[in-house]
Structure 1
Amino acid sequence: MEFRKAQTADIPELRSFYQEVCDHQKVDQYSPEWQWGVHPTEEMLRDAIDDPQKMLLIAVDSQRIAAAGALYTGDDQIYGQGHWQRNFPQSQVRVLHLFATRPQYRGHGLSRRFLLYILNQAKQNGGQAVHVDIVADNLPAQRSYERVGFQVSASLILNYSDTGPTPAKLMERDLTN
């Protein structure tokens, strides 16, 4: 398994990966309710590759993307203020978006290994904390993040652009410890 930054040449495989993840949500007990073309979109993927304030990271197994996630610099505006355990300058905060594992790779420890890689990349690129939001009832996602040191900072309603007001949890991983 190779962990690396995604490149423009990876877009066709990324599109296939996220389409499969979105389609599989129909049979998943827990899901973020993503819909390919609404969230995520190919434009989001290209932006995460091209924007210097972002990076799209992938886990590749024999030319096939097994997992992916994007790190953005600075908090998402929908989080509001005052929900974090520690206050870091926005230039030192990384937010994890679009984190997913291809269904056939789930349950084998890939998410943990890949999350540790993502945290390492965040730290190497000046991050002091990583923030992530999850749908409140997505307990498997919460457990995956907690296994690598994330803690729930707040439970609140987030107004997602694709699904509207949704009960969610904000999680934080302090990289300074």
Structure 2
Amino acid sequence: MEIHTAIKEDYPMVRAFYHSLIEGMQNSEFDIGWKKDIYPSPDFLKDSIANGDLFIGTEENKIAAAMVLNHECNDGYQEFEWPTKTEHSEVTIIHALGVHPQKKGKGYAKQMVDKAFEVAKRNHQKAIRLDVLEGNLPAEKLYTGLGFQYMHTLKMFYEDTGWTNYKLYEYAL
């Protein structure tokens, strides 16, 4: 799988990827709770592409995985006392990391997280943080297996899930 920054022309393919991912995960044992055009929303995807924050993993000219890396986080993150003391601009947040269900088990999620490590280190970040919908055991296993530390479970609001428990994770760089 080749990972690169998405460009404007990739938007239709990126949107279709997330729609396909959501369809493939709905009603599965570990439904991620995302909803088409709510999360990730078209504006979020377009803005992330425009800012150079959306990364896609492609295989045979098709998107197999995608994620967004930026400094934006849910307001709930501010309620928690993170162990790594940093400025907001020194933390990379992973958003919307997904691997197409037909591509699971190939190590693509790990490759995407490795790319996040590379980008964060290159940008002199002090930590990478993220949240996982409580009960998404594959994601929890992935992140802890890659060295992320579970920090806290917090009820946070997102448009796709409403007020729901999310597990916060951090990887200090």
Scaled by the length of structure 2, the TM-score of the pair is 0.94
1:96–1:131: 8 Å Cα contact kept in structure 2? yes
Q: What per-residue deviation string (whole Å, max 9, x for no partner) do you get for residues 8-46 of structure 1? A: 111111011000011112242112211111111221111
Partner of 1:137: 135
**Partners of 2:108 and 2:160 in 1: how far apart?**
28
User: Out of 167, 171, 174, which is 2:172 matched to?
Assistant: 174
**What are the within-5 Å matches in structure 2 for residues 116-127 of structure 1?**
116-127=114-125
Q: What RMSD, in angstroms, separates the aligned Cα atoms of the two structures?
A: 1.4
**Structure 1: gaps spanning 5 or more residues:** none
Partner of 1:92: 90
Q: What per-residue deviation string (whole Å, max 9, x for no partner) do you get for residues 113-138 of structure 1? A: 22111211122123211110011111
Partner of 1:13: 13
* Local SS of the residue matching 2:23: helix
**Partners of 2:7 and 2:106 in 1: how far apart?**
26
**Partners of 2:23 and 2:79 in 1: how far apart?**
34
Partner letter of residue 6 of structure 1? A
Partner letter of residue 53 of structure 2? M
**Structure 2: gaps spanning 5 or more residues:** none
Rate the CA distance shift 1:35–1:168 in 2: closer, same or farther, 3 A: same
**What are the within-5 Å matches in structure 2 for residues 42-81 of structure 1?**
42-51=42-51, 55-81=53-79
User: Shift of residue 161 of structure 1?
Assistant: 2.5
User: Shift of residue 74 of structure 1?
Assistant: 4.6
1:75–1:94: 8 Å Cα contact kept in structure 2? no
Partner of 2:37: 37
User: Shift of residue 57 of structure 1?
Assistant: 0.8
Q: In percent, how many aligned pairs have the same letter?
A: 30
Rate the CA distance shift 1:142–1:83 in 2: closer, same or farther, 3 A: farther
Relative to structure 2, which stretch is displaced further, 20-29 or 127-136?
20-29
**Partners of 2:73 and 2:163 in 1: how far apart?**
18
